[in-house]
Every structure is written in structure tokens, then in C-alpha cells.
Amino acid sequence: MKRLFALADEYLDQSDWKVLAALKFCLLSLGMLIGMYAPKRYRRSLTMTCIPLFLLTYLPLMEKLVRIWKEQNPPPPEVQEEPAAL
């Protein structure tokens, strides 16, 4: 859990107000999709608005999160095997 909070802190440290605004729009659109109780005649237009908004905000946010996670957890160095002596 500590690593998750450290990752979240690093993400926020590297973010500006634009990223946080995108995060809020992302969560807003996801919440609207989950809790949509609109009459049937409005559901299609709301869905067609929320899905692109969610994808346009979610994908860049997750790309940044994965990049920060990779910086914190670099891959282990590869071990070079020496040729066997005859």
C-alpha cells in the first residue's frame, strides 16, 4: 500500500493543473456512465458523449502513470554469459 501511495504522490508531483483537470473530467465521465439514470431517449447521446471523453482523458493519464512506474521500477540489468573455455 505504501508503494501505491508513493506512486500517487510522484504522479501528483509531476502533474500540473491541466493534468488534474483532465483527471477530473475522466472521473466525471466515468461516473456519468456508471450512474446514468437518464430517460431512455437521452441515454444514447449521453453515452456517445461520455465514452470519447473518458477515452481521451483516461489513455494519456494511464500512459503517464505507466511511465512514472517504469522510472521507479527499472528492469533488472541483463547478465552476459561468458563463452565456456575449452
Give me the domain span that covers residue 60.
2-72
Does residue 77 fall inside a structural domain? no
3-class secondary structure for the chain? CHHHHHHHHHHHHCCCHHHHHHHHHHHHHHHHHHCCCCCHHHHHHHHHHHHHHHHHHHHHHHHHHHHHHHHHCCCCCCCCCCCCCC
- Total number of domains in the chain: 1
The per-residue pLDDT for 84 is: 67
pLDDT, tens digit, 9 for 90 and up, residues 59-68 = 988 898 889 8
pTM score:
0.53
pLDDT, tens digit, 9 for 90 and up, residues 14-65 = 888 888 888 888 888 888 777 667 778 887 888 888 889 888 888 988 898 8
Q: How confident is the model at residue 85 (pLDDT cuts 50, 70, 90)?
A: low
Does residue 13 fall inside a structural domain? yes
Does residue 83 fall inside a structural domain? no
